[in-house]
Structure 1
Amino acid sequence: MAHSHSHTVVDHGPPRRGLAVTLTVIVLAIAALALAAMVALWPDSSKVAHDMNPYGGQGVTTVGAKVTGVDPFDCNSGGEGPDGMPQVRGDCAHITATVDEGTATFDLDAARYKAGIKPGDEVNILRIAPEGQAVSYEFLDFRRGVPLTALAVMFSVLVVLVARWRGLFALVGIAVTMLALTKFVLPAFLAGESPLPVAIVGSTVIMIAVLYLAHGVSIRTTSALFGTLVGIALTGVMGLGATAWTSLTGVSSEDDQRLIATAPDINLSGVVAATMVIAGLGVLNDVTVTQASAVWELRALQPAMRAGSLFASAMRIGRDHIASSVYTLVFAYAGSAMTILLLITAYQQSLGTMATTEEIGTEIVRTLVGAIGLVLAVPITTAFAVLLAPKGRDVEPDDAYVPAPPRGGSHAGPAGA
């Protein structure tokens, strides 16, 4: 006798309006609290530290120029400088360039010249014209506006072509992120607001906007949002504790000292903890969205899978993602800190010795805290997704097929074959 065998499907309907309404109320409440906190922490413009542009003093302007001549000369560069630091050995260069008012000339030190400059290069130079004195020029930097704009346009076009509307909305999310950072987070740091609450509030607003813009308004996106928000909170708490435990002050370079002099109310140790939250947002977002999507796909493939089995299956995917994401954090630091790592190698100092310095230690703590927050976010997001994912219809006993044991060397198949 033939056995009947029916395939189950995910029961999506009727649409889970009750759950959708509940989640909408929760998300709107979180957004309202975050916006209210942002308003409360919004810095007074009069308290935001400002300093005079070092390249904008009286009689100093920045002008564009095109290099027309490069003439090297011996400037006795080498040995030690006046501060005891080693100097680059080699020739300096006398540079001729065209500007709007005619011709400009200036000298490059050995380090700048060795880095590379040639006729035809577009550069920015300082035009120094003190009252009653002759005009002089100094090299400022290369002009990179055109190539940077071209790369940004290329990136945007490719994102939209490949990801279409989601890519376009992801670009809008980038704009929202930059707006939140430049208009709220950074000014609040400079105004002396507590950095960690500012970072958590700013990150919450950014993630709510970015996730729904890039991935659409859905229960699946909401489950990823919940996991992301918990990850942000955990990273913030761990960052604060790790910063205090490792005695990170945030003062590791001349730029840090200059910043304190410019903004005496800034809490640099707090900024270190805050950057641990902000630095991990991208990878955290990637992991939580992937885990939510994995749960939804697994539920669609096996509607009758129990919650525990669904969680375990999604976590097998999550473990692979954790491994690759942790590598991403390490590689990102290694790439951005290549100059420091090269100096460590050149000084013939052990990594263990250099790792305890403020500059290297800060990056190590930032990477480890970000990785811990990332690892914890995976099971948390998976749990939210399993809880909120569509439930398949229970498999009825008649739906389960158990093959009959072989008889006389023959084997009965599902259709009695």
Structure 2
Amino acid sequence: MNVLVWLGIILFILMRLIGGKKGTRSFLAIFLNFGVVLISILFLTTPKVNPIIFIVVACIVISCINLFYINEVNSKTITAFISTLVTIVILLLFIVIVAKKTMIQGFGEEEVEELSIFSLYIGVDFVKIAAAVMIMAAIGAITDTAIAISSPMSEIFLHHPTISRKELFTSGIRIGRDILGTSANTMFFAFFGGYLGLLLWFQVFSYSFGEIVNSKIFNAEMISILCAGIGISLVIPITSWVTAFILVKE
């Protein structure tokens, strides 16, 4: 039995012991999301499929898995789901513009040598592919932030049912401020952890600071992180407003 199986078993046991039935559903959700990602990769390279439309559908499915399958259908997950969809639409429009203006689509010179034996004339729009990849990278953090805000706001309303809509919204913003810094830094360090080999490449080949910040592959990842941070920032007031609007009936 290889290391992957053992690590999977240990993860399942810990999630089951700590999370109970919800922990089991969370473990299974990992494989469901992995399946959605695999299907997305297959369809994104199909010339007749619009990557933007398909990635929106994929994000909806991922949000349903992470919210409704794990936490069941309730007021907390419904408000988090609505907030996630609104944020995705706003962020997607912004990301498409950024991808076109910054010209980060395609491959950097560090990747060209490995791909030189293949033809890049595959009939797909690389701008839309780049936008789809960035929104897919941000969906997990956006969904996590949305439920992290809607859940305590629902608890606040449960214990203080006479709270006004404005006060509940303000409480959500305060909660979001505590989450914002850690969520943005999580995305930042995930980049450096995943692309440590790229940074070592820059060091070995004596890249100057100017060459690093102008590298396409570096810029593509940094822009992806910044767009994800913008999405996290947007989902906080959106979730706070949607939750307050749905829970408090004035």
Q: Output the amino acid matched with 1:286.
A: D
Superimposed CA distance per residue, residues 150-196 of structure 1 (whole angstroms, 9 cap, x where no aligned partner): 1111112211211111112222322322222223x111112122222
Q: CA deviation at 1:376?
A: 0.3
- Counterpart residue number, 1:249: 105
1:192-341 → structure 2 map (5 Å cutoff) = 192=47, 193-252=49-108, 253-254=111-112, 257=115, 261=119, 264-341=122-199
Q: Output the amino acid matched with 1:239.
A: I
- Counterpart residue number, 2:220: 362
Superimposed CA distance per residue, residues 322-378 of structure 1 (whole angstroms, 9 cap, x where no aligned partner): 111000010000111111122333444443431221110100111111111111011
1:106-121 → structure 2 map (5 Å cutoff) = none
- Counterpart residue number, 1:189: 44
Contact kept, 8 Å, 2:141 with 2:228, in 1: the verdict is no
- Counterpart residue number, 1:343: 201
Structure 1: distance between partners of 2:182 and 2:203:
27
- Counterpart residue number, 2:11: 155
Q: CA deviation at 1:241?
A: 0.9
Query: 3-state SS of the aligned residue for 1:305?
Result: coil
Structure 2: distance between partners of 1:365 and 1:313:
31
> Which stretch of structure 1 is more off in the superposition, 260-269 or 153-162?
260-269
The answer to which structure has the higher strand fraction is 1
Structure 2: distance between partners of 1:222 and 1:258:
47
The answer to which structure has the higher helix fraction is 2
Inter-CA distance 261–388: structure 2 relative to 1 (3 Å threshold):
same
Superimposed CA distance per residue, residues 30-64 of structure 1 (whole angstroms, 9 cap, x where no aligned partner): xxxxxxxxxxxxxxxxxxxxxxxxxxxxxxxxxxx
Q: CA deviation at 1:266?
A: 3.0
Inter-CA distance 260–200: structure 2 relative to 1 (3 Å threshold):
farther
Stretches of structure 2 that go unaligned for 5 or more consecutive residues are: none
Stretches of structure 1 that go unaligned for 5 or more consecutive residues are: 1-144, 395-417
Q: CA deviation at 1:214?
A: 0.8
- Counterpart residue number, 1:397: none
Q: Percent identity?
A: 22
Q: Output the amino acid matched with 1:372.
A: I
Structure 2: distance between partners of 1:388 and 1:255:
54
Query: 3-state SS of the aligned residue for 1:249?
Result: coil
Count of residue pairs the alignment pairs up: 247
- Counterpart residue number, 1:39: none
Q: CA deviation at 1:291?
A: 0.6
RMSD: 2.2
Higher relative contact order, structure no. (Cα contacts within 8 Å, ≥ 6 residues apart): 2
Contact kept, 8 Å, 1:196 with 1:270, in 2: the verdict is yes
Superimposed CA distance per residue, residues 291-350 of structure 1 (whole angstroms, 9 cap, x where no aligned partner): 101211222333322111111122111011011100001000011111112233344444
Query: 3-state SS of the aligned residue for 1:225?
Result: helix
Contact kept, 8 Å, 2:52 with 2:131, in 1: the verdict is yes
Structure 2: distance between partners of 1:220 and 1:255:
49
Structure 1: distance between partners of 2:112 and 2:127:
16
Contact kept, 8 Å, 2:164 with 2:248, in 1: the verdict is no
Question: TM-score under structure 1 normalisation?
Answer: 0.56
Question: TM-score under structure 2 normalisation?
Answer: 0.90
Structure 1: distance between partners of 2:65 and 2:71:
10
User: Larger radius of gyration, structure 1 or 2?
Assistant: 1
Inter-CA distance 230–258: structure 2 relative to 1 (3 Å threshold):
farther
Structure 1: distance between partners of 2:208 and 2:182:
27
Q: Output the amino acid matched with 2:45.
A: L
Contact kept, 8 Å, 2:165 with 2:248, in 1: the verdict is no
Contact kept, 8 Å, 2:79 with 2:239, in 1: the verdict is yes
Contact kept, 8 Å, 1:251 with 1:268, in 2: the verdict is no
Contact kept, 8 Å, 2:105 with 2:129, in 1: the verdict is no
